[in-house]
Amino acid sequence: MTKTTAPNAIQNVLDRAVTEGGVPGILIEVRDGERQWFGTAGVADTAAERPRLPQHRFRIGSTTKTFVATVLLRLAGEGLLGLDDTVHRWLPNVVRGNGNDGGAITVRQLLNHTSGLFNYTDDREALNRYETHSPAVLVDIAVAHPPTFAVGMDWGYSNTNYILAGMLIEAATGASLHDELRRHIIEPLGLTATSLPHGSDPAIEGPHSRHYTKLFDSSPDATIHDATELDVSMFGAAGGMISTLGDLHRFFAALLGGQLLRPAEQAEMFRIIPTKNWITHTGYGLGISSVTLPSGVALWGMGGALFGSWTYTYGTRDGRHILVTNVNADWAHGDWDDPIGVFTDLLRAEFD
């Protein structure tokens, strides 16, 4: 596979993301059959002004959900559980109270965000009461609120769904989520730079960029904080993983290409439904999303946002042409409201 530098149209977006958007650094890698190229702009570390490199690790946020959904679907393929099993079957009495009923919510509804469960990350006051966060605590925060809609009657993105998915994997297998991620995905694909931190471990092992956050302040002159060392126990199975451009390419190429799931589970994953109050022009399956560009081109993958790190991985349905990009920030100014605007322009430059 020949590796080259980014085309001019892509490099222009990367440069503008830094000079106009104000992000510290951005990197991108595209693989299209035997064609591969890498591009970057800005820095990995604003103090040392180190460049961002292809081997740099970063937090992938909600792209973690695709890994977790893949493990659950593989367990379904093994006959260990069913997508129509209720949450209560595997996690008795965990989801109850205030109108929440784990006996009415299925595994499928967790994975496609139609459970109606309150998104625990929307209750920052409750989250701030704890120094670290177990999955059980996060679910308790969620079920202290009534459902946002009746089960199966709407769509609403909720990190609570995937915290429960991680708990369900552990209940069904008797193994840790870390072990199941390794058994089903990380070891078979040789993803040597991909991991889910244990507990409240704040470190990113190996080469990585610094991660910078403005803590939800959208003003251009907001204070910038270094969030590289971060306790991700608050996110866990919903968004806690670390990876690289190369590992994300390998994972999504295998997933989209049908190498990880049997045909029945693959069909379930890609049963796309419209999203609501989320990213525009998208649909959602089981841990995977689709995005339709203005030209009508449809791409499949997932994005992820965490303090100081936003990531996008999208490609063609056969997994042969995939773009992975990351900014070590959680803002973008100028022509963009946030990094998703930058990522959308990159997708258009490559696929339109």
List active site positions. 62
CA nearest to 58, candidates 179, 237, 230, 187:
230
CA nearest to 237, candidates 182, 159, 147:
159
DSSP state of 270: T
Distance, CA of 148 to chain centre: 22
Q: Which residues pair with 194 in a beta bridge?
A: none
Side-chain-side CA neighbours of 347 within 13 Å: the count stands at: 29
The C-alpha angle 120, 215, 126, rounded to 5 degrees, equals 30
CA distance 284 to 113: 8
CA nearest to 229, candidates 206, 210, 215:
210
| Length of the chain (residues) | 352
DSSP state of 184: I
Type and span of the H or E element at 242: strand 242-243
CA nearest to 115, candidates 144, 67, 84, 153:
153
CA distance 112 to 285: 6
CA nearest to 191, candidates 182, 204, 179:
182
